[in-house]
Amino acid sequence: MANPATAPRPEGARGPAAARLTRHEEGAAGIRNEAIVTSAPALFETSLEGLEPQRRGKVRDMYAVGDHLLMVATDRISAYDLVLGSTIPDKGKVLTQLSAFWFARTGSIVKNHLVSTDPDDYPAACRPHAETLRGRSMLVRRTEPVPVECVARGYLAGSGWADYRRTGAVCGVELPAGLQQSDRLPEPIFTPATKATSGHDENITAEQAAGIIGPRLLARLRELTLALYAHGAEHAESCGIIVADTKFEFGLLRADAAEAAGGDVGEGDEIILIDEALTPDSSRFWPRETYRPGVAQPSFDKQFVRDHLDAVQWNRQPPAPSLPDDVVARTREKYREAYRLLTGTELD
């Protein structure tokens, strides 16, 4: 994942002022009826006095808090490996609260790093920032991050579709001939990727992944990834959402603290689900009712933003552009709608 911690704020980036946005409700035959809603102030970045910055990712600002980390999900949005010059109000809250929803549902499959999402439970140094943190932050356990991302794919889309058209396989996993774009796969597949510190993550084969993290750990991560995907996809489909693919990240709690980092999983080591889970940023969500194989699908994720950037023929080089107000409003509502459908509740 790129680390823009030292990068200047994108030119034209919109600050934390409250935004008056248009909410777009889907009507009959896809006609959108507009109503005005007022968002809470959007958050581009944080600088929390009294807390030690650990790193800044594309979306999250991380702080070291004793034996824990404080993860703050901002409203930044990235595309093509660059942070854009706009915020999407409520986006950080959707990512945090939806991840917490899934962490609670999947604890029987694998433990996760979440300690609390309530600033009242955080260490004293965090409490002066409670209002900034509320709804968009997590206090989490520190782990040794596994340097491979774990992707589960149930449908043929994105880089998987491009790989299949070129090779007849996805990350080395052979698939039947004659599949179309967006087809449901005969069964979900596990496709690892490298975790890039800058630039774009790269799809790799299982054999390559085993060479990085060890065959025992890879086998266990494959099992956990497919189990998490099966659980999430089943629930999402009952809510009207297809999870075409999704990415998980894992960390290790070593039984022997002196054991060298980066090796295969050892006896007594614990695998922990970290970062986020089954969110619009880490997943490709499609509306079930309009699903039609053979074409690209409308989505609840930031593909909507990518489509806009492609339409304006951005060259994908800095400086990253800002988004027009209508794209911000529609993207915000996509995130909020995904949360509403999956959880059955409104965003706090």
Higher pLDDT, 45 or 16: 45
pLDDT recorded at residue 243: 98
Whether the pLDDT of residue 25 is over 50: the answer is: no
Select, from the ranges 26-35, 287-296, 318-327, the one with the highest average predicted confidence (pLDDT): 287-296
Whether the pLDDT of residue 29 is over 50: the answer is: no
Higher pLDDT, 8 or 89: 89
Whether the pLDDT of residue 149 is over 80: the answer is: yes
Give percent of the chain above pLDDT 90. Answer: 76
| Interval 146-155 mean pLDDT | 97
| Interval 3-24 mean pLDDT | 41
Higher pLDDT, 175 or 265: 175
Confidence of residue 255 (pLDDT cuts 50, 70, 90): confident
| Interval 73-80 mean pLDDT | 94
For the ranges 163-172, 198-207, 252-261, which has the lowest average pLDDT?
252-261
- Say what the pTM is: 0.87
pLDDT digits (tens, 9 = 90+) for 112-136: 999 999 999 999 999 999 999 999 9
Secondary structure of the chain in HEC code, one letter for each residue: CCCCCCCCCCCCCCCCCCCEEEEEEECHHHCEEEEEEECCCCCCCCCCCCCEEEEECCCEEEEEECCEEEEEECCEEEECCEEEEEECCCHHHHHHHHHHHHHHHHCCCCCECEEECCHHHCCHHHHHHHHHHCCCEEEEECCEECCEEEEEEEECCHHHHHHHHHHCEECCEECCCCCCCCCEEEEEEEEEEECCCCCCCCECCHHHHHHHHCHHHHHHHHHHHHHHHHHHHHHHHHCCEEEEEEEEEEEEECCCCCCCCCCCCCCCCEEEEECCCCCCCCEEEEEHHHCCCCCCCCCCCCHHHHHHHHHCCCCCCCCCCCCCHHHHHHHHHHHHHHHHHHHCCCCC
Confidence of residue 156 (pLDDT cuts 50, 70, 90): very high
Whether the pLDDT of residue 191 is over 80: the answer is: yes
pLDDT recorded at residue 197: 59
pLDDT recorded at residue 8: 42
Summary mean pLDDT of the chain: 88
pLDDT recorded at residue 201: 79
Higher pLDDT, 196 or 163: 163
Higher pLDDT, 10 or 103: 103
pLDDT digits (tens, 9 = 90+) for 212-245: 999 999 999 999 999 999 999 999 999 999 999 9
pLDDT recorded at residue 7: 38
Give percent of the chain above pLDDT 70. Answer: 85
pLDDT recorded at residue 21: 38
Whether the pLDDT of residue 169 is over 80: the answer is: yes
| Interval 324-344 mean pLDDT | 95
